[in-house]
Amino acid sequence: EALPRRFRYADIYLRPAKQPKPTKGFEFSEHTDLCLRLDKDIPDLRAAYSSNHRRNLRRAHEAGLRLDEQLDPGRFLEFVLGSSQAARWKLSDEQRRVFRGLLALSVAEGNARVLGVRNGRDALLAAGWFVQWQGRSYFLKGLAAPEGREERAMFLLLDQHISDIAGRAGVLDLAGSDDPALARFYAGFGADRHVYLRALMNRLPAPVRWMKP
């Protein structure tokens, strides 16, 4: 047994991914992350962007979009939790509480960077939350409003963040990209694909077992 019997449930993420030995009671699944190394100057990093990403960046600049580097965390929460995406996800009160708590903690400890993109009318079109930890910048949550998607606001947000941390953070970790469309978006900035493993063990009694992923 990999774990003593008193442990009934384990959900572990392993990185970097290595082919595991067969382990009784565990199921393994592969997941994708995309990471961008930041050991070059910004002109060289931008040279690795896809041609489509460079066009979309020009479009964002031509639309007069600008970066808001002082976006209030409370406004970020309103923007994200009040979105149609949050409604589709049907977040529970507990999940919302945890989300707020993690953001507040990262801000209090000085590890957070909360950015927005605004248009000429000062409307918030996109927002992103990054956390700096041990030489990596983690993109924990980003969202664009419908007008922001049309104006390519998220292209501008990520490009400006990359520009600001190039040479200071070792890696921009784009934090989980199993969605093919999202993976293509991140790869367009020059990010490389990495595979990590999820190890799941569930010894809970029925029917509780069926309620856990």
Report pTM.
0.82
Number of domains in the chain: 2
User: From CA 206, how far away is CA 209, in angstroms rounded?
Assistant: 5
- Give the per-residue pLDDT at 211: 53
Same domain, 57 and 161: yes
- Give the per-residue pLDDT at 17: 54
Is 189 inside any structural domain? Answer: no
Is 90 inside any structural domain? Answer: yes
Model confidence at 207: pLDDT above 90:
no
Q: What is the CATH number of the domain that holds 164?
A: 3.40.630.30
Same domain, 126 and 203: no
Is 60 inside any structural domain? Answer: yes
Same domain, 121 and 82: yes
- Give the per-residue pLDDT at 30: 78
Same domain, 49 and 123: yes
Is 21 inside any structural domain? Answer: yes
* Burial class for 21, CB neighbours closer than 10 Å (0-12, 13-18, 19+): exposed
From the centroid of its chain, how far is CA 93?
A: 21
- Give the per-residue pLDDT at 11: 72
What percent of the chain stands above pLDDT 70? 88
Is 2 inside any structural domain? Answer: no
Asked if the peptide bond before residue 73 counts as cis, ω within 30 degrees of 0, the response is: no
* Burial class for 50, CB neighbours closer than 10 Å (0-12, 13-18, 19+): middle
Which domain, by its residues, includes 20?
9-32+198-211
pLDDT tens per residue across span 38-91: 999 999 999 999 999 999 999 999 999 999 999 999 999 999 999 999 899 898
pLDDT tens per residue across span 150-199: 999 999 999 999 999 998 879 999 976 778 899 999 999 999 988 877 77
Residue 31 CB contacts under 8 Å (≥ 6 apart), including other chains: 13, 176, 178, 195, 196, 197, 198
CB count in 10 Å sphere of residue 118 = 19
Same domain, 57 and 109: yes
Same domain, 207 and 135: no
